[in-house]
Chains A and B, each alone.
Chain A
Amino acid sequence: VMTAHSFALPLVLFSAFWGLVGIAAPWFVPKGPNRGVIITMLVTTAVCCYLFWLIAILAQANPLFGPQLKNETIWYVRFLWE
């Protein structure tokens, strides 16, 4: 498979998704005694999960070294995966 992974597309998609969860959704939480707690939960979840994903993708964006594979693995991946 020869598709290249873009960096911009996932960045936009996930930023939009977690932005929806953390910034837009709090406006739609129904009024009630638990409104504050639910909003806190939404914002905290969005921040934590987005940050975690961002660290994972940034750490791989510009790799300084590549994977070291066994010769069996190389043979298998080359002729069966690609």
Chain B
Amino acid sequence: MGSLFRSEEVCLAQLFLQSASAYSCVSELGERGLLEFRDLNPKVSAFQRRFVGEVRRCEEMEKTFTFLQQELREAGRVLAPCPDNPRAPLAREALRVQEQSEQLAQELREVSRNRASLRGRLRDLRQYLHVLRESRRFTSLPAPLGSPPRSRALSEREPLLDPSLHQHLDRKINFVAGVIHPWRVSAFERLLWRACRGYLVASFVEMPEPMEDPTTGESITWVIFVISYWGEQIGQKIRKISDCFHCHVYPYPESEATREDTLSGLHSQIQDLSVVLEETEQYLAQVLDKVVLALPTWRVQVQKMKAIYLILNQCSFDVTEKCLIAEVWCPVKDLTQVQDALRQGSYKSGSSVECFVQRIPTSESPPTLIRTNKFTAGFQSIVDAYGVASYQEVNPAPYAIITFPFIFAIMFGDVGHGLLMFLFALWMVLYEDRPSLRQASNEIWLMFFEGRYLILLMGAFSIYTGFIYNECFSRATAIFPSAWSVAAMANHSSWSSAYLATHPVLTLDPNVTGVFRGPYPFGIDPIWSLAINHLNFLNSFKMKMSVVLGIVHMAFGVILGIFNHVHFRQWHRLVLEFLPEMIFLLALFGYLVFLIFFKWIKFSAANSLVAPSILIHFIDMFLFTSNADNLPLYEGQVPVQTVLVVLALASVPVLLLGTPLYLWCQQRSLRTSQPTLVASREQEPLLEGQEAGNSVNATKEDVESGGHSPDAKHLDLAELFMHQAIHTIEYCLGCVSNTASYLRLWALSLAHAQLSEVLWSMVMRSGFVGLRYVGGVVLVPVFAAFAVLTVAILLVMEGLSAFLHALRLHWVEFQNKFYVGSGYKLCPFTFTPDHWE
């Protein structure tokens, strides 16, 4: 069947790599992704490994790349993923990449710095320009003797210029002009007034356009101030105060002419600076273009290089220091491919000596490799979630492809809900190649998407079980005419309309001829959905169905164990474990299944009053008693049951003691021929060394711990008895409890049916009350509510619940009959495209 039936054969191999061609060989192997490398230097720290220098170089390059990427992000550029798949670079290429990337980073840093300083300078010039322009209003008029125009400092509390100061007016008026943050204006004013009261005139005006604040980067409307003062000390005070408030103070030219000159000078300076800034921006854009072009490829290349060196660090050097030895787990089928890859690698690196691979025997358990395609991967992952299959044991996944959706569908059976689920999964499957679906960042969506084939099958089987349960959004459909005839009953018992009016509830009796006309051919009869006692019938049906399906599922699990016993050549387990397990299960629970089917066939409405209870019979079977009220199902039932119980009880000690006793006898017969075995052991130390499964670097001491001989076997025997006892108890008790556990199939299907019934009768039906046009309009929001609740409660919540319980039934009740699940996966060395942001 290919490797889905059981995991592939995996062997331990040694690669002998020439030092010169080791890098390209590992690069080839990584491109193909075949082998898992084992760490031969586990005790060596990361800093002491051989290729730590190269790894560090790669990390430095990655740091440069991170810097470049940050700059790109700040400039608003997007990095495209790498279009092709570049191979790991050789030493010369790597050097070139490193040089180029560092050069680009250096250039980028310089250009950014230049641009920042140019921008700052431009900002200063512009502010100066505004200051000069705005302050013209205050100072172009003659020096104020009376009221200064628009002076906010002189509010109502301060009178106009003190007449006593008139005499000082012939002194020189000086100016301080600058720019201040708008939030600090009032504090500035107040402080100025307190400190230099009366000896200054301060005017504030807002700048016409907002400008960037160098520290925070946000755009603020600065306030320009011009302070005219006289007196040297006042001037100093004013300057100190403006320093405190972080104002930008600009030299204010005294006369009109100088002002004009300064203005025109500023204009030309600003123009020149703008031109230079533009060119700088262009150059920056060019550099960024170069980065965008080259960065994706470099990242992939350096990542691959680093991965290869990390792998090379795991290899060991042989004594001559010319050859690297690597230990790998390799699937046997791929050995030729590995040899091919090594040949290619040696050729590419131009060395004449070929590297080769050699298989070595081991007693360690190899990793599990199960190759899946996009369809089987989902099912394999739900099996692996419980435990990865042990090496070469039977894989439950191929059966779970169908049994899991089927068991889900038993708990979810509804045509309408199944159809919705099927269509949703179909949409996901048909558009699975769209990158918007495949690479979404939402984890929950990804989970649904990964399981799209699973959901497809779950929906399909739910449609089938929905038809059998005869439920479509909780409504039954009469595909075939119902088997129960109300007319026949009414005619027989003369149910007139008057009679009906006085009797609210009446029962159809199948004993009356013509009332029951044969079983409904496909599924549950639609009459039951109209009946008040439908749960009586459905519960009996569903409980028996759950038990029957559960026992069949478990028996199948026990049978799968045969394949394991045969494959591992443990024939004794076939007779001493499989046989008693099967006898126990079938004698007790197979007989229960038989009783269920027998009662269905043999007993009908004619003898319904005396129909025996299977449950009571089953209990009496175990207790070896009998109940007079409970008629036997068939003649000779009691002796048959006694035989079956005795058979089942007899199989328990066989299961408990069979295998350990057999192994003990086998070991005893081995011990009589022990001396010769010991001698032959000592003569072959070399093979021993590798047989213990230790790596090439293991010492003699490690080898000796492998051979414990008879004492160890004795301890092992006690362990074996213990293990077998646990297994027996678990199996026998498990048979009973797991059969009961399958009743959850009944419980959940009942819950689902009741929930959808409630939703229909309480929500949707209230939309059908009004029969006029208004009723039609009311139906729209009612249907909306019904749809939302159906999806949220019945599809999502019930779906997840049924999924969980189906999973539990598989993981526990089915798999503990044969599955060990203590393996580990083969993780081949491969270059995976990492998370590109």
Contacts and interface: CB of A to CB of B under 8 A. Distances in A.
Interface in A42-64: 44-45, 48-49, 51-53, 55-64
Given A40-B399, A74-B500, 10 more contacts: A37-B1, A37-B4, A51-B548, A55-B544, A64-B604, A66-B508, A69-B532, A70-B504, A70-B505, A71-B503
A40 B552 CA distance: 17
* Majority DSSP secondary structure for residues of A touching B: helix
B468 A73 contact: no
A61 B501 contact: no
B335 interface: no
B570 to A, nearest CB: 24
B748 to A, nearest CB: 16
Interface stretch (B12-20, B219-227, B509-517): B509-517
B532 A10 contact: no
Given A65-B608, A70-B505, A60 B2 contact: no
Contacts of B537: 63, 65, 67
20 contacts: A5-B483, A10-B519, A33-B2, A35-B2, A36-B1, A44-B403, A45-B406, A48-B406, A55-B541, A56-B523, A59-B545, A62-B604, A63-B510, A65-B537, A65-B608, A67-B507, A67-B530, A67-B537, A68-B505, A68-B507
A1 B481 contact: yes
B608 A71 contact: no
B495 interface: yes
B69 interface: no
Nearest to B538: A59
B524 interface: yes
A69 B548 contact: no
A25 B181 CA distance: 85
B670 interface: no
Given A45-B402, A74-B495, A82 B507 contact: no
Interface of B: 1-2, 4-5, 373, 376, 398-399, 401-403, 406, 410, 464-465, 468, 480-487, 489-490, 495, 497, 500-501, 503-510, 515-525, 527-528, 530-534, 536-537, 540-541, 544-545, 548-549, 552, 597, 600-605, 608, 611
Contacts of B487: 78, 82
**List of 10 A-B pairs having minimum Cβ-Cβ separation, nearest first:** A36-B1, A5-B518, A67-B531, A62-B604, A66-B508, A44-B402, A10-B521, A64-B608, A71-B500, A4-B517
Contact of B465 (A7, A9, A52): A52
Contacts of B403: 44, 48
B376 A69 contact: no
A53 B466 CA distance: 11
A4 B483 CA distance: 7
A50 to B, nearest CB: 11
Contacts of B504: 70-71
B563 to A, nearest CB: 13
B506 A60 contact: no
Contacts of A64: 510, 603-605, 608, 611
B527 A67 contact: yes
A71 B505 contact: yes
B505 A81 contact: no
Contacts of A40: 1, 398-399, 401-402
B401 A41 contact: yes
A53 B522 contact: yes
Nearest to B525: A60
B521 A77 contact: no
A66 B516 contact: yes
Contacts of B399: 40, 44
A78 B499 CA distance: 14
A52 B465 CA distance: 8
B548 to A, nearest CB: 6
B521 A5 contact: yes
B597 A68 contact: no
B530 A77 contact: yes
Contacts of A62: 600-605
Contacts of B503: 71
Contact of B541 (A41, A44, A45, A56): A56
A52 to B, nearest CB: 6
B170 to A, nearest CB: 108
Most buried by A among B403, B505, B519, B552: B519
A34 B1 CA distance: 8
Contacts of B482: 81
Contact of B398 (A36, A58, A67): A36
A71 B402 contact: no
B507 A61 contact: no
A7 B483 CA distance: 11
Contact of A55 (B495, B525, B548): B548
A68 B398 CA distance: 45
B506 to A, nearest CB: 6
Contacts of A68: 505-508, 531-533
A81 B382 CA distance: 48
B510 to A, nearest CB: 5
A67 B520 contact: no
A71 to B, nearest CB: 4
Given A4-B517, A5-B517, A44-B399, A66 B484 contact: yes
Contacts of A75: 497, 500
B524 A60 contact: yes
Nearest to B602: A62
A56 B468 contact: yes
B605 to A, nearest CB: 6
B308 to A, nearest CB: 31
A77 B528 CA distance: 13
Contacts of A59: 540-541, 544-545, 600
Given A66-B516, A81-B486, A57 B521 contact: yes
Contacts of A4: 517-518
Contacts of B373: 34
A64 B508 CA distance: 11
A64 B500 CA distance: 24
A51 B537 CA distance: 19
A55 B545 contact: yes
Contacts of B2: 33-37
Contacts of B544: 55, 59
